[in-house]
Chain A
Amino acid sequence: EAGVAQSPRYKIIEKRQSVAFWCNPISGHATLYWYQQILGQGPKLLIQFQNNGVVDDSQLPKDRFSAERLKGVDSTLKIQPAKLEDSAVYLCASSLEETEAFFGQGTRLTVV
């Protein structure tokens, strides 16, 4: 079974630039999550989708972050404009019926 795919693996951008991350969940998984993990901290949920609908986006900084999951499969997370404090690993995960979550390798973002 293929796992959760994310790209790119690494990204370095200057502050105020924009960036986008892509996630392809495990086939058949209705629930998709985007987490932000700052070095030394636990993953923080940014947004959770159930199929293509948003379940929770209470911790998503909506003035600069946006996410979509068209057709209930792939998802993209965008940051525009980026700030220094956005430097983190962005993890995508998927699950069946909100049980165990399967995480992708993550995208390490460095904002300089």
Chain B
Amino acid sequence: GQQVMQIPQYQHVQEGEDFTTYCNSSTTLSNIQWYKQRPGGHPVFLIQLVKSGEVKKQKRLTFQFGEAKKNSSLHITATQTTDVGTYFCAGRATSGTYKYIFGTGTRLKVLA
């Protein structure tokens, strides 16, 4: 079945450093979503990418969808302590029930 993996699993950065998490699907996706989950909280939607090669920015966050629609990345510029949490991608299948499969997540810790 479809699998969505993320790397790295954990990342510790100094405040002000950049951070990137990568999302890789075993199958082609119709679209991909990104969520952030704070410690003890629930996932909160960040963005959705639909088009091949699409790039979207939200302030210090940059999201990319690969040309083959099998991978995606989230880059945070100049991290802040408020960026702490786990970042999940969720890829939507192109067949079957078109359900979203969540990735394994990348836990970000920002050291002040």
Contacts and interface: CB of A to CB of B under 8 A. Distances in A.
Contacts of A106: 42
Contacts of B97: 48, 55-56, 58
A72 interface: no
A103 B101 contact: no
Given A100-B45, A104-B42, A44 B33 contact: no
Interface residues of B, number: 20
A41 B103 CA distance: 9
A4 B28 CA distance: 31
Taking residues whose C-beta sits less than 8 angstroms from the other chain, chain A's interface range is 20 to 34
Interface in B30-87: 33, 41-45, 48
A45 interface: yes
B99 A55 contact: yes
A91 B92 CA distance: 19
B52 to A, nearest CB: 19
A45 B99 contact: yes
A99 B96 CA distance: 17
Contacts of A41: 104-105
24 contacts: A41-B104, A41-B105, A42-B4, A42-B88, A42-B102, A42-B103, A43-B102, A44-B102, A45-B99, A55-B97, A55-B99, A56-B99, A58-B97, A91-B42, A91-B43, A93-B43, A98-B92, A100-B48, A101-B43, A101-B45, A102-B45, A103-B42, A103-B44, A106-B42
